[in-house]
Amino acid sequence: MSAQGELQGRADAPANGVPLLEVNHLRVYFPVKAGLLIDRKVGQVHAVDDVTFQLSERETLGIVGESGCGKTTLIRSLARLVDATDGAIRFRGDDITKAGRQKLQPVRRDVQMVFQDPQASLNPRKRVGQILATPLRLGGTRRREIESRSRELLQQVGLSPEHLNRFPHEFSGGQRQRIGVARALALNPKLILLDEPVSALDVSIQAQVINLLDELQDDLGLTYVFVAHDLSVVRHVSDRIVVMYLGKLMEVSPADELYSKPIHPYTSALLGAIPIPDPRENRARERPIVSGEPPNPINPPSGCRFHTRCPRATEICKRVEPQLTTYAGGHMAACHHPQNVTDEEIRAATRSEASPLSSGSDAPGAEERSLGQVRG
Amino acid sequence: MAPAEPLLRVEDLRVSFATEEGVVQAVDGVSFTVDPGEVLAIVGESGSGKSVSVMTLMGLTRGPNARFDGHAMFGGRDLVSAPDSELQKVRGNQIAMVFQDPMSSLDPVYRIGDQIVEQIRAHEHGISKAQALDRAVDLMERVGVPRARERIRSYPHEFSGGMRQRVMIAMALSNSPQLLIADEPTTALDVTIQAQILDELRQLRSETGAGIILVTHDLGVVADIADRIVVMYAGRVVEQGTLDEIFYDPQHPYTWGLLGSITRIDRDRSERLPAIPGLPPSLLAPPSGCHFRTRCPHAFERCTEVPELISRLPEAPEHLDRCWLEVEAKRSLRQLGDQIGLATGETVIS
């Protein structure tokens, strides 16, 4: 650890119960423009729409959802690569939502990103040594220490230090992704945002990179946000999982519980759609196939965004946006007609602070109860 | 079952490409058959030669630097040696193909309907444009495109990925093919859409009795839809058998490594995933003998000779593999592997 000295300044930052990252009612909208000479704003894409969550140190949070659900925009906004429209992002208690260059600089070291396509995210004209030296130089590592630190980084990600003089094209996809990880590790970050880090890789190589990420987390005490569309990969790496649909949180759950006890019908639909690589179990499984495709995020449906495809949707789902309800064990879901929970669990459940501001206050199952009363 | 002639019989197919660095042996002696109404899955990692094999059947790998050997018999024709003019009659007609990326396989400047009509009329000369258009609407409805009559006038960019893939399937079906080749048809799609497309393929198979070759790296998809599996590694078939044979009694260490290293939604988070160490070899200079031996934890002296692709199981004569290990040795090694995980933690690349 050659950069130990300069770490000190940051290492004693507040750790007293303040979560590493807090996201409060975050919105990211993109304007849709039309017109040749004068840009007229004709609408907006609701990419991330009122998302709230917290992240503790050394935790891995998985974010899953279909394409267009806003998962990538969400983590790009956490890295301040896109600006939030509304809401707040706090890193170790400091609000960084609108922070300028100066204030962001220390945060940029602590928060690093690994991208999906290692081919596109490494400069093809630079040698690995130069790629790794850039963050080190910007981070203030002394010139003569840069090379030794780069070698150390390569070793950390399972590559040989001799690879410093090679170009990215001389590596395979899995090795390139290791370089991407090494670059992210260069400044001893606290939090690494991983955007589909293994989806471009072959299965046998996926396993290698996942194991590497696991080992690094144990050794360096890293915190991960792991975005993927592959629910089986996410299950393998995550402590907690967030399911997103059209910019909204549908369900937030401890990792294993999401698979054994999905509360939101959308989660069940996603899980049911994934074939299990085991023919007998696959045949034995009941799999509801959801019809249709995600609606346009420029004009998202009213009420619950999933109601147009949901098998359980009723009248209330069209009118009232469901609140995020906290069930036992911190398992949260935004649904009027939750699955896999007993009446008792529903009664014991509470409205979560993370509920979108525009959501209704109807507790889950409210419609059924009122209908029951009318009939009774 | 009576030993009827299969729909397609590929025998000892070899494809090599001359490149600046040398000769790449992309396909090195591949044999398999496809029966009518059967789904044959070809699985393997990138560079295993699975796509080159099926593209060769369609004549899509022909070029000045390519060399072919072997046979692919389909309806009395040899697809490998048939002249282009003859292949053109088969292509898109009796054999159709669906590609991985539906955006780059549709022409962005023509309406969807016109592209389907073109394909229909290319092989059926008597049909009028209006009739062909009606047929195109029927086809699009059949593969689940809503409001097909309106949407036939759309351009590809107005369709989502899933809808485009449906259009590709509609085009492939336009001349009622006997064999459909699907090269990673769902890889670019979301899981919920993938489930819909796989359902479409299943229905198609039962309605038309067409044989399907599914090229994929996704073993979940394979478990979902395939009848038989061909596992390829570095240009060769390393194992071949029925779905259950491959999943429950895999005979080649590569296959069991592949099955072990996948993450599964029905499994808890275990400490480490068993990973196959190392990388697939370069096809410019693959290792002598068994191509997998440099990554295989169980390799021994004999592996420097190329093992034949034969059945080593008396109870399953159709289950073929290319591995020198004794059957009993394999089964016990595999069980051991299940318990401790194959090559755990050892992922350092030299």
**Could A207 and B262 be called an inter-chain contact, meaning their C-beta atoms sit closer than 8 Å?**
yes
Q: In chain A, which residue ranges form alpha helices assigned H by DSSP? A: 4-11, 71-78, 101-110, 128-138, 143-156, 173-185, 203-220, 231-237, 255-260, 265-273, 279-284, 315-319, 343-348, 366-375
Residue holding tokens 């729909």? B7
The reply to whether B313 touches chain A by the CB within 8 Å rule is no
Residue pair B47/B24 in contact (Cβ under 8 Å)? The answer is no
- In chain B, DSSP finds a helix count (H) and a strand count (E) of 12, 12
Chain A residues whose beta carbon lies within 8 Å of the beta carbon of residue B262:
203, 207, 232, 277
Give the span between the Cα atoms of B186 and B26, in whole angstroms.
24
Q: How far apart are CA A261 and CA B146, in angstroms?
A: 33
Q: Which tokens go with B108?
A: 């962005």
Where in chain B does DSSP place strands (E)? Answer: 8-19, 22-34, 39-43, 66-74, 77-78, 95-98, 179-183, 211-216, 228-233, 236-242, 310-311, 320-321
Which of A233, A259, A273 minimises the CB distance to B191? A273
**What span, in angstroms and rounded, lies between the C-alpha atoms of B273 and A193?**
21
Closest approach of A259 to chain B, Cα-based (Å): 7
State yes or no: pLDDT of A1 exceeds 90: no
The answer, for B21 touching chain A at a CB cutoff of 8 Å, is: no
The distance of Cα B288 from the centroid of its chain, to the nearest Å, equals 26
The pLDDT value recorded for residue B104 is 82
Per the CB < 8 Å rule, is A289 touching B194? no
Question: Per the structure block, which two tokens stand in for B177?
Answer: 């093919």
For residue B163, give the chain A residue with the closest CA: A293
Inspect the interface and report whether the beta carbons of A275 and B220 lie closer than 8 Å.
yes
Q: Is B203's Cβ below 8 Å from some Cβ in A?
A: no
Contact B349 A158 (CB under 8 A): yes
Look-up of token digits 């398992």: A331
Of B219, B259, B265, which has the smallest distance from its Cβ to A271's Cβ? Answer: B265
| Position A16 pLDDT exceeds 60 | no
Is B269's CB within 8 Å of A236's CB?
yes
**What residue spans define the domains of chain B?**
8-226, 260-340
Assigned token pair, B118: 């073109």
Rg (CA), chain B: 21
Best mutation target, A204, A238, A243, A256, to test chain B (most B CBs within 10 A): A204
Identify whether the C-beta of residue B209 lies closer than 8 Å to the C-beta of residue B203. no
**Which residue pairs, CB below 8 angstroms and at least 24 apart, start in A297-300?**
A297/A45, A297/A46, A297/A47, A297/A68, A297/A70, A297/A246, A297/A247, A298/A32, A298/A43, A298/A44, A298/A45, A298/A46, A299/A43, A300/A46, A300/A49, A300/A246, A300/A247
Is pLDDT at A179 greater than 50 in this prediction?
Answer: yes
Amino acid letter, B164: R
Contact A259 B348 (CB under 8 A): no
A270 and B345 within 8 Å at the Cβ level: the answer is no
Q: Which of B221, B262, B294, B342 to mutate to test the interface with A (most CBs of A within 10 A)?
A: B262
Which of B318, B330, B311, B315 is CA-nearest to residue B252? B330
Q: Are B265 and A232 a contacting pair at CB < 8 A?
A: yes
Counting Cβ atoms within 10 Å, is residue B300 exposed (0-12), middle (13-18) or buried (19+)? exposed
pLDDT digits (tens, 9 = 90+) for A227-281: 988 888 899 899 999 999 999 999 999 998 999 999 999 999 999 888 888 888 8
Shortest Cα distance from A148 to chain B (angstroms)? 19
DSSP lists the bridge partners of residue B8 as B34, B74
pLDDT attached to residue B102? 76
Q: What number of other Cβ atoms are within 10 A of residue B265's Cβ?
A: 20
Token pair recorded at residue B130: 């209006």
**Backbone dihedral angles phi then psi of residue B338, each to the nearest 5 degrees:** -60, -35
Write the CA distances from B141 to A103, A291, B38, B147, B178, integer angstroms. 57, 15, 24, 8, 21
Handedness of CA A77, A78, A81, A87 (dihedral sign): positive
> Which of chain A's residues have a Cβ under 8 Å away from the Cβ of B161?
67
ipTM of predicted complex: 0.76
Q: Provide the pLDDT for residue B141.
A: 87
Tell me which chain B residues have a C-beta less than 8 angstroms from the C-beta of A158.
347-349
Structure tokens at A321: 């946006």
To the nearest 5 percent, what fractions of chain B are helix, strand and coil? 35, 20, 45
Q: What is the model's pLDDT at position B147?
A: 86
DSSP A214: H
H or E element at residue B171: helix B161-173
User: CB of B255 within 8 A of CB of B239?
Assistant: yes
Residue range B8-226 forms a domain whose CATH class is alpha beta
The C-alpha R_g of chain A, in whole angstroms, comes to: 22
CB contact under 8 A, A275 and B350: no
Cβ proximity of B295 and B276 under 8 Å: yes
**Closest to B28 (Cα-Cα) out of B69, B74, B80:** B69
pLDDT band at A56 (very low <50, low <70, confident <90, very high): very high
Cross-chain CB nearest to A203 (options B247, B258, B347): B258
- The Cα of B269 is separated from the nearest Cα of chain A by a number of Å equal to 5
- Residue percentage of chain A with pLDDT more than 70: 94
The torsion angles phi and psi of A339, rounded to 5 degrees, stand at: -105, 165
Record: contact A230-B194, CB cut-off 8 A: no
Report CB contact under 8 Å: B279, A205: yes
pLDDT at A375: 45
Residues in chain B with CB shorter than 8 Å from the CB of A218 are none
CA of A366, closest CA in chain B: separation in Å?
A: 29
Check A204 against B347: CB less than 8 A apart.
no
Cβ-contact A293, B193 below 8 angstroms? yes
Residue in chain B nearest A290 by alpha carbon: B192
pLDDT in tens, A73-101: 999 999 999 999 999 999 999 999 999 98
How much is the mean pLDDT over chain A? Answer: 88
Instruction: Among B39, B194, B264, pick the best mutation site for testing chain A contact (most A Cβ within 10 A).
Output: B264
CA distance B30 to B50: 10
**Beta-carbon neighbour count of residue A161 at 10 Å?**
14
Q: Do B222 and A277 touch (CB under 8 A)?
A: yes
If you measure CA to CA, which chain A residue comes closest to B48? A202
Environment class of residue A346 by beta-carbon count within 10 Å: exposed (0-12), middle (13-18) or buried (19+)? middle
Please, are residues A179 and A168 in contact by the beta-carbon 8 Å criterion? yes
**Does residue B7 belong to the interface with chain A, where contact is any CB pair within 8 Å?**
no
Cβ contacts below 8 Å, chain A against chain B, sum to 146
Low-confidence ranges of chain B (pLDDT < 50): 1-2, 339-350
Strand order from edge to edge, sheet including A40-55: A40-55, A21-34, A86-91, A94-95
Domains recognised in chain A with CATH numbers: 4-238 (3.40.50.300), 268-375 (no CATH)
Cβ pair B263, B270 in contact under 8 A: no
Partner A contacted by B348 (CB < 8 A):
yes
Determine whether the interchain pair A280/B193 forms a contact, defined as Cβ–Cβ distance below 8 Å.
Answer: no
